[in-house]
Structure 1
Amino acid sequence: MKVFGSSGTRGVANEELTPSFVLRVALAAGTVWDADRVAVARDTRTTGRMLSNAATSGLQSVGMDVDRLGVVPTPGLQSYCEAEGVPGVMITASHNPPEYNGVKLIGADGVELSVAAIERVEEPFLSESAEAVSWAATGTDLEVQGANRRYIADLLESVDRERIADAELTVALDPGHGAGALTSPEFFRRLGCDVVTVNAQADGHFPGRDPEPVAENLEDLGRLVRAADADVGIAHDGDADRAIFFDETGTYIEGDATLAALAEAGLSPGDTTVSAVNVSQRLVDVADRVGADLELTPIGSTRIMTRIRELREAGESVPVAGEGNGGVIFPSYRVNRDGAYTAARFLELLAEDPASAVVAPYGGYDNVRVNVEYDTTRERDRLVAAAADYAESATDAEVTTIDGYRLDYGDAWVLARPSGTEPVVRIYAEATDRARAETLVGEFEDRLQNALASAGEL
């Protein structure tokens, strides 16, 4: 994939991701799709309307009628596409900062396009071979009302409402000014929860916090959990396809622990789960304990979803999969990430135990992550080459090169890989001792920073 990275295509709006770029994507997608109608939606970003207008124009120019849904979570668009049997275009940069925007393409089954389908779209994009129809054959556009209500109704039909309502939970919710602000508060209230919120006004400037739901951005949510004596805190990213949690004490729960808890609750012997190459040992332990297989892919929801589809088509049972960033997938519901659905499945677990007890068996690991930024393609190449050299020199580690360079030491692991959406090389590490994880990251980062410095001297 040249245009689409690990989860769609993204860039700084009006610089890298311009209206003309989005129009070209729409032209290419509309040329490839065997459909007369398509849905377009966006998250709350200030450039969303501009770019959704560009997508709509491109789709109409190749003869497609466009359902314009407005501001809707990505899983809300996916729900609409599945129900209507139409493909979709989502204008979102997910967890990226406010200046970014992006494009995700959804199939008529409501699932993000597979790697093969994305590559078919890239062909006319790169060759600029998409052809507009005559003026008389151009498509129309229709403002669709009620897509968010339909999505909430879909969610309510898909979870154990009675179990959650009987638990009489108080939920502290931080949708982070994203599209989930329009759906999640109502959804959790209709599940019978008392809901208190922070950053729950839809605002594409994201004034309360950055869209990425990581611990350093969620201090207000932790305080709200404690102040409201809530049973759980829930945070979303910008397009609400992810969910991150706080326990009843206002303590941040690592996403890897949440994924492990949901996986253990959903997996049976002989099942398969799928995650990315940065998988936590927590999920490895769960798969071993349950007797399930664990398949690894390159990082990114597109890669994971593609592999899930392949496994299910081969007759494998894949009840739960995903990544430790809050992007959990329950294929029997939909082969997509859905923050509200994931949160509801976690609430089902709280019917028996408090959140701290639910995730307690999956502690004991510390995670550290840093980003090494670069400006040019030459610098990126230098960083990747340095990572390869470092991995080759690590004679005491098992090296995996599915995506980047992962070094497994038995008691810990470290991974370096270039991001598919930002100009950074990410370094991740996990160990049972935080100092060990910090050392692994620090040593790898030093090697990359030295390579970056030497690149600047050339």
Structure 2
Amino acid sequence: MKYFGTDGIRGKAFEKLNSNLAFKLGQAIAKRFKPESIVIGQDTRLSSNMLAHGVAYGAALGGVNVFMADVVSTPMIAYYSKMKDMIGVMITASHNPYTDNGIKVIKSGYKMLDQEEIDLESYIDDGKVYIAEKFGSINITKEVESLYLQVYEDLMIPNTKLSISFDTANGATYKIGKKIIEKYVETSYQIGDNPDGLNINLNVGSTHLDAIKSAVALYKSDLGLSFDGDGDRILVIDKDGTLFDGDLIVYVIAKYLKSVGMLKKDTVVLTQMSNPGVLAAFKRLGIKVIQTAVGDKYVSEVLIKEDLTIGGENSGHIIINDILPSGDGVFAGMFLIKTLTENDMNLKDYTKEVVIYPQKLVNIPNVNKAVLELEEVKKVIMEVRSELPEDSLLLVRPSGTEPLVRVTISCQDSVMLEKNMAKIVDKIKELGEMK
């Protein structure tokens, strides 16, 4: 596609992503879907106002009533879009730096079909300004927040004695995260809560875990919750500085849901990147795991198709599909707190049966991704696959956005891991080097 990628439109703000493109997208939404109204949210980037208003003006000129939600998280827009059966637009580049931005278009809570994105692209490029007989209005709404807060009331979270540090990445959750966590947690400390338009994800958030580790140590917290710039991811640090990734968070919540009879079909959805040790622990619990390609889009598709309760990625996207349609860091964090509080346990004790296998990811830069089609490379990968034990992980895949190849291996024997990693990486470097 020309504009849409795996997660909406992304690019450098004020360059590829400028007010003109935003206006055309607003027009395209009006032309393709002819909605009565849409809702627009944004993160804290300097460019987000420009893009939000660009989309709003394009849609309003096309006769669409626009509700501006200001700074809210991506999951808040997705939830509102689902509950109101309407189109939502979120202005964000997630965990990227402030120089980037993006536009996500959400239809009734979920990402659009490929054909719908293709249709929007054709309208963006048709060069025709659409002026409706009656212009739409542009209004500010607080309903996105009020509807979202009700979700937490329904979750019945007990007041907890746990001390919580949380990092809102100077991003979309800096207000809503504070409001929710402080309501249910007696002792909490927030960092990454001073956005200036230029510092979203800057040395804070789920891609910079040193910040939350330092906060947990400084405040002697029981848990540290770290969100990304648009609020759809979470990673967790315990009081000892141990990382609990998305797979382990899914494990904790799924274990709780199974214990109370609320885990549909006793099945969860994870990706091919999941640690074999986590998969083994799920099996011992009597929970089946369906694995998808890497990407929360694929996890969501299986959750919907199979009518399942929970899935996620080790990067921190956690989707509790019975309640919210998209990954939601704040909600997953509060569900974690609910689980630990009700069971009067810490994370290590609640997951003590999980034995994480050694795992390593190597990014090989400046290689021609076509190297993976060479028979010599395929042969080496097959040799490694046959040498690794059956319960191991081997994943070799090209980056979707950069000239690099990612190699992931996980197995119980760290010596075997290193030997086989070197074998694959050396062969790809030898044959794939870009001249």
- Where on the TM-score scale, by shorter chain, does this alignment land: which range? 0.7 to 0.9
Q: Which runs of 5+ in 2 are unaligned?
A: none
RMSD: 2.9
Structure-2 residue corresponding to 1:360: 352
> Does residue 310 in structure 1 map to residue 305 in structure 2?
yes
Structure-2 residue corresponding to 1:173: 166
Distance 1:12 1:274 in 2: 33
Quick check: 1:260–1:362 contact (8 Å CA) kept in 2? no
Cα-to-partner distance string for 1:391-447 (whole Å, 9 max, x where unaligned): 343334559xxxxxxx97525323232334556443333233455445544443333
Alignment of 1:6-405 (within 5 A): 6-108=6-108, 111-114=109-112, 117-126=113-122, 128-129=125-126, 132-134=129-131, 136-145=133-142, 147-151=144-148, 153-162=149-158, 165=159, 167-206=160-199, 209-210=202-203, 213-214=206-207, 217-267=208-258, 270-312=265-307, 318-351=308-341, 352-374=344-366, 380-385=368-373, 390-396=377-383
CA gap 1:452/1:198 in 2 versus in 1, 3 angstroms:
same
- Letter paired with 2:353: P
Structure-1 residue corresponding to 2:425: 445
CA gap 1:350/1:291 in 2 versus in 1, 3 angstroms:
closer
* 3-state DSSP of counterpart to 2:66: strand
Quick check: 1:13–1:101 contact (8 Å CA) kept in 2? yes
Quick check: 2:264–2:309 contact (8 Å CA) kept in 1? no
* 3-state DSSP of counterpart to 1:349: helix
Distance apart, 1:99 and its partner CA: 1.9
- Letter paired with 1:284: L
Distance apart, 1:382 and its partner CA: 3.1
Q: Which runs of 5+ in 1 are unaligned?
A: 313-317, 400-406
- Letter paired with 2:330: A
* 3-state DSSP of counterpart to 1:76: helix
Distance 2:239 2:390 in 1: 33
Cα-to-partner distance string for 1:272-308 (whole Å, 9 max, x where unaligned): 3222222332442244234443323222222221222
Distance 2:22 2:403 in 1: 20
Distance 1:265 1:224 in 2: 28
Distance 1:299 1:30 in 2: 32
Distance apart, 1:129 and its partner CA: 4.6
Q: Percent identity over the alignment?
A: 22
Distance apart, 1:120 and its partner CA: 1.7
Cα-to-partner distance string for 1:212-266 (whole Å, 9 max, x where unaligned): 614xx22131122122221100000001111110112233223332222223333
Cα-to-partner distance string for 1:116-154 (whole Å, 9 max, x where unaligned): x24222234146358643353332211224643543x23
> Does residue 429 in structure 1 map to residue 429 in structure 2?
no
CA gap 1:429/1:394 in 2 versus in 1, 3 angstroms:
closer
Distance apart, 1:61 and its partner CA: 3.5
The two structures have a TM-score, normalised by structure 1, of 0.83
CA gap 1:104/1:287 in 2 versus in 1, 3 angstroms:
same
- Letter paired with 2:257: G
Distance 2:9 2:49 in 1: 17
CA gap 1:2/1:196 in 2 versus in 1, 3 angstroms:
same
Quick check: 2:168–2:205 contact (8 Å CA) kept in 1? no
Structure-2 residue corresponding to 1:403: none
* 3-state DSSP of counterpart to 2:154: coil
Instruction: Single out whichever of 36-45 and 121-130 deviates more from structure 2.
Output: 121-130
Distance 1:444 1:8 in 2: 33
CA gap 1:59/1:126 in 2 versus in 1, 3 angstroms:
same
Distance 1:270 1:17 in 2: 43
Quick check: 1:176–1:211 contact (8 Å CA) kept in 2? yes
Equivalences, count: 428
The two structures have a TM-score, normalised by structure 2, of 0.87
Distance 1:66 1:239 in 2: 21
CA gap 1:193/1:242 in 2 versus in 1, 3 angstroms:
farther
Quick check: 1:396–1:409 contact (8 Å CA) kept in 2? no
* 3-state DSSP of counterpart to 1:103: strand
- Letter paired with 2:138: D
Distance 2:197 2:422 in 1: 35
Quick check: 1:94–1:237 contact (8 Å CA) kept in 2? yes
Structure-2 residue corresponding to 1:404: none
Distance apart, 1:172 and its partner CA: 0.5
Instruction: Single out whichever of 123-132 and 273-282 deviates more from structure 2.
Output: 123-132
- Letter paired with 2:336: F
Distance apart, 1:309 and its partner CA: 1.4
- Letter paired with 2:430: N
